[in-house]
Amino acid sequence: MSKVAQKVKEEEIDLTGANQVIDKYIDMKGALMPVLQGVQEFYGYIPEPTVHLIAERLNVYPSQIYGVLTFYAQFHLEPRGKYIIRVCMGTACHVKGASRIADTLTDRLKIGHAETTEDLKFTAEYVACIGACGMAPVIMVNDATYGSMTVQKMDEVIAKYKAMD
């Protein structure tokens, strides 16, 4: 974990948001997953204090919660970058050269799958399929999709987001 990430993690976590999420789902059967998804949406990741809060209020063991958190690819236990670059590694993208795009990302930003840059600006993620196979190879930066990627286009995209705040 980078120093910046460490610092973010050590800041006091305000649990109001987590409490609100739990209030919403507490009476539901099988509430754990929706609660975790809600908490992650609020904080951007799952901070440790919230795990204990959820355990307390939903009456499950923290170990059970960690079991769920580490099983599913979409839960994150550490702060993540401002721009999430998702590189699609689905079959169609693979056939059309997705590994080349991932290599470019690693080369330029020095981050591989599930890694974040030191300054918390970029996080790379290799995903199975984002369902835009018609435009393979595809990447997503937060909500924006970029299709028919080449190494050159990848450089342009990286430069664009580097220049942004």
Partner 1 sequence: MAAKAEAIKVLICTGTGGLASGAQAVLDAFTAEFAKQGVEAKVGKRCEVIGTGCRGLCANDVLVDVVIPGQEPVTYDFTTPELVPQIVEQHIIGNQPVEKKVAGPYYSKFLEKQKRIVFSRCGTIDAESLDDFLAHNGFNGIKKAVKMKPAEVIDAVKRSGLRGRGGGGFPTGVKWSFCAGSPGDTKYLICNADEGDPGAFMDRSVLEGDPYGLIEGMMIGAYAIGCKFAYVYCRAEYPLAIKRLQKAIDTCYEKGILGKNCMGLGFQLDMRIKAGAGAFVCGEETALMASIEGQRGMSRPRPPFPAVRGLWGYPTNINNVETFANVSYIFYNGPEWYASIGTEGTKGTKIFALTGKVKHTGLVEVPAGTTMKEVIYDVCGGILKNRKFKAVQAGGPSGGCLPEAALNAEVDYDSLIKAGAMMGSGGLVVMDETTCMVDIARFFLNFTRVESCGKCIPCRIGLKIMLEILQRITEGNGREGDIELLEDMAYDIKKSSLCGLGQTAPNPVLSTIRYFRHEYEAHIRDKECPSHSCKALLHFRVIDEKCKKCGACAKVCPVNAIEWEKGQVAKIDLVKCTKCTSCYDACPFMAIE
Question: Can you tell me which of 31, 85, 105, 124 binds partner 1, judged by CB under 8 A?
Answer: 31
Does residue number 106 form part of the binding site for partner 1 (CB under 8 A)?
no
- The one segment of 3-11, 12-20, 92-100, 116-124 that binds partner 1 by CB under 8 A: 92-100
Contact between 65 and 50 under an 8 Å Cβ cutoff? The reply is no
Q: Which of 16, 143, 4 is nearest to 78 (CA)?
A: 4
The string of DSSP codes covering 49-74 is HHHHHHHHHHT--HHHHHHHHHHSTT
- The one segment of 15-23, 77-85, 115-123, 129-137 that binds partner 1 by CB under 8 A: 129-137
CA atoms within 13 A on the CB side of 91: 0
Residues 37-56 that bind partner 1 (CB under 8 A): 37
Query: Rounded to an integer, what distance in angstroms lies between the CA atom of residue 161 and that of residue 122?
Result: 9
Question: Can you tell me which of 51, 89, 109, 157 binds partner 1, judged by CB under 8 A?
Answer: 89
Min CB(37)–partner 1 separation in Å: 6
Does residue number 165 form part of the binding site for partner 1 (CB under 8 A)?
no
Query: Going edge to edge, which strands form the sheet with 122-127?
Result: 122-127, 83-88, 139-141, 144-146
Does residue number 131 form part of the binding site for partner 1 (CB under 8 A)?
yes
Min CB(3)–partner 1 separation in Å: 28
Contact between 55 and 62 under an 8 Å Cβ cutoff? The reply is yes
Binding mask 134-153 for partner 1 (x = CB under 8 A): xxx-x------x-x--xxx-
Strands 83-88 and 122-127, sheet pairing: parallel
Residues that bind partner 1 (CB under 8 A): 29-34, 36-37, 64, 67-68, 71-75, 89-92, 94-97, 100, 103-104, 107, 127-136, 138, 145, 147, 150-152, 155
